Amino acid sequence: MTLRKLSTIDAPRSTPEHTPRLRLKPKAPRSGYVDGAWWPHSDDLTAQLPDLLAVLSIRLGPIDRVLFNVNEWAKSTAKLRTGGRAVRLDGYQRQPVNTVEVIGLNRSRIALLVVPPNSDPDEAHAALMAAASPSDESTVDGLLATTARQGRA
């Protein structure tokens, strides 16, 4: 008899294994283009998502889908087993650059700025904080450009 070892990606998880680098706007009326920002550790979406989804499921409940720009990530699967269920991963070329959108079963959604994994830590931190500011209404490009300028100043 052979025992099949579950990978971390297959294992049901309700809490993150590693705390994701994530900042969200407070739960309030929506403002701006994004609801916060996420700074993944790599461009392997399948490896990075379980911890992010474990945290976001607190706000959204069970997660149904993740929308992402297919050109920004290493090849991913069409579905990811996490949190005890299968989550659809939908990669589109027209998905706004540097964003992911996470959609719950109840159709609530969170749009996140994705700070590139290889970003300078100071610039990444500035982008995370700016995107999570309750009054920030910047575009994704504006957030990344402003924080890059602040990091060089």
Rg of the chain on CA atoms, in Å: 16
pLDDT over threshold 80, residue 123 = yes
CB 121 within 8 A of CB 77: no
pLDDT over threshold 80, residue 9 = no
Q: Mind listing the pLDDT tens digit for each residue in 35-56?
A: 999 999 999 999 999 999 999 9
Could you tell me the two tokens for 44? 């392997």
Could you tell me the two tokens for 96? 């706004």
Domains of the chain: 22-152 (3.30.2320)
**How far apart are alpha carbons 60 and 108 in whole angstroms?**
6
CB 73 within 8 A of CB 45: yes
pLDDT over threshold 60, residue 7 = no
Quote the distance between the C-alpha of residue 49 and its chain's center. Answer: 7
pLDDT over threshold 80, residue 1 = no
Q: What percent of the chain has pLDDT over 90?
A: 64
**How far apart are alpha carbons 118 and 120 in whole angstroms?**
7
Could you tell me the two tokens for 115? 């700070």
pLDDT over threshold 80, residue 29 = no
DSSP-derived secondary structure letter, 72 = G
Q: Write down the pLDDT at residue 82.
A: 84
Query: pTM to 2 decimals?
Result: 0.83
On the CB side of 82, CA atoms within 13 Å amount to: 30
Q: Mind listing the pLDDT tens digit for each residue in 71-89?
A: 999 988 899 998 788 999 9
